[in-house]
Amino acid sequence: MKKKEIILGVTASIAIYKACELIRRLREIGFNVTVVMTKEAKRLILPLLFENLSGNRVYSELFKKDDFDIKHISLAERADLVLIAPATANIIGKIASGIADDLLSCIILATRAKVIFCPAMDENMYNNKVVQENIRKLKSYGYKFIGPEKGKLASGKIGRGRLADLDNIIKEVKTTLS
C-alpha cells in the first residue's frame, strides 16, 4: 500500500524548530513527508536539516532551472494533505487573498487535497482583526485550523499564539487522512 503523502509547508515562525519533531513523528507513523519552505523560513533553519529528517528533497524555489516538471503542480497533485506548520499571518493572508507568489502559496492554491493551517505567531498578531478575518474566510472555504494555543511566546509573554501541541496536530492529520 502506498504511503500517504504529506506536503509540510514551513514558514518563518520561531516555532519552526517544532517542525523537526513533527516530521520525525509523522514518519514514525508511516507517512511520507515532503517539506516546502518559504524563503524566510530558510533564514531560520537550513533545508539540509529537513532533508535529513524527512529523507526527501526540500523544495522552496518556484522556478528552478534543473527541474523538468512544474513543481507547484506536481507537488500539489501528489499531496494527500498539505499541512502548514508553523503557519504565519503572512501565509494565511496570502491564501485568503488568493496570492500565489512563492512555491508554498502556489501549492496550496493548486491542490485538491485537504489543507490544514497550524498558526504560530505573537498574540497581538493572531488577535489582529485582519488576521482573524482571514482565518474566518479560509474556514468558510473549507480550510482547517489547529490552534494556536495559549502559552509562553517568543517574546517571553504568555498568550495565545503558540503552535498547537504536536499530539493535537498529529491526531488531526490521522483523522483527516483516515
* Cell numbers at 6, concatenated: 504529506
Bond into 148 cis (ω within 30):
yes
CATH number at residue 98: 3.40.50.1950
Q: How far apart are the first and last CA of the chain?
A: 14
Domain count, the chain: 1
Torsion of CA 140, 142, 146, 149, to 10 degrees: 0
Domain membership of residue 58 as a residue range: 5-177
Q: What pTM was estimated for this model as a whole?
A: 0.92
Q: CB of 27 within 8 A of CB of 135?
A: no
Name the nearest CA neighbour of 18 among 79, 80, 82, 87. Answer: 87
Helix (H) or strand (E) holding 151: strand 149-152
What pLDDT tens digit does each residue of the chain (178 aa) get? Answer: 568 999 999 999 999 999 999 999 999 999 999 999 999 999 999 999 999 999 999 998 876 655 555 556 778 778 899 999 999 999 999 999 999 999 999 999 999 999 999 999 999 999 999 999 999 999 999 999 999 999 888 888 898 999 999 999 999 999 999 8
